């Protein structure tokens, strides 16, 4: 992966394919599910599901960060 391609992903100018995500995760020794979970923000969640998101995802993210 080129530096320019990685920079485009980091700055939000492009979104990586699942194959690229898998390669990045493999290089970082991080499960793909972690990367995908941490890419979700409350703004991505429909209004009716935000309570569920806050109840489940936010504590899970905190737990994973502190491992």
Does 26 share its domain with 37? no
Residues 7 and 39 reside in one and the same domain: no
**24, 16 in Cβ contact below 8 A?**
yes
pLDDT of 46 over the 90 cut? yes
For residue 1, pLDDT over 80 is answered with no
The model's pTM is: 0.61
Nearest to 58 by CA among 44, 38, 34: 38
- The domain tally of the chain equals 2
Residue 9 backbone class (left: φ over 0; alpha: ψ -120 to 50; beta: rest): alpha
Same domain, yes or no: 24 and 44: no
**What is the token pair recorded at 62?**
């905190």
Residues 39 and 20 in one domain: no
Q: Cα(62)–Cα(67) distance, rounded to whole angstroms?
A: 9
Q: What value does the mean pLDDT take over residues 44-50?
A: 92
Q: What is the mean pLDDT of residues 11-22?
A: 90
Owning domain of residue 4: 1-30
Residues 13, 36 within the same domain: no
């Amino acid at each position: 992966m080129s530096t320019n391609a990685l920079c485009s992903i980091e700055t939000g100018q492009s979104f990586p394919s699942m194959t690229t995500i898998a390669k990045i995760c493999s290089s970082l020794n991080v499960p793909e599910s972690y990367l995908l979970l941490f890419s979700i923000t409350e703004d991505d969640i429909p209004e009716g599901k935000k309570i569920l998101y806050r109840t489940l995802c936010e504590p899970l993210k905190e737990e994973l960060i502190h491992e």
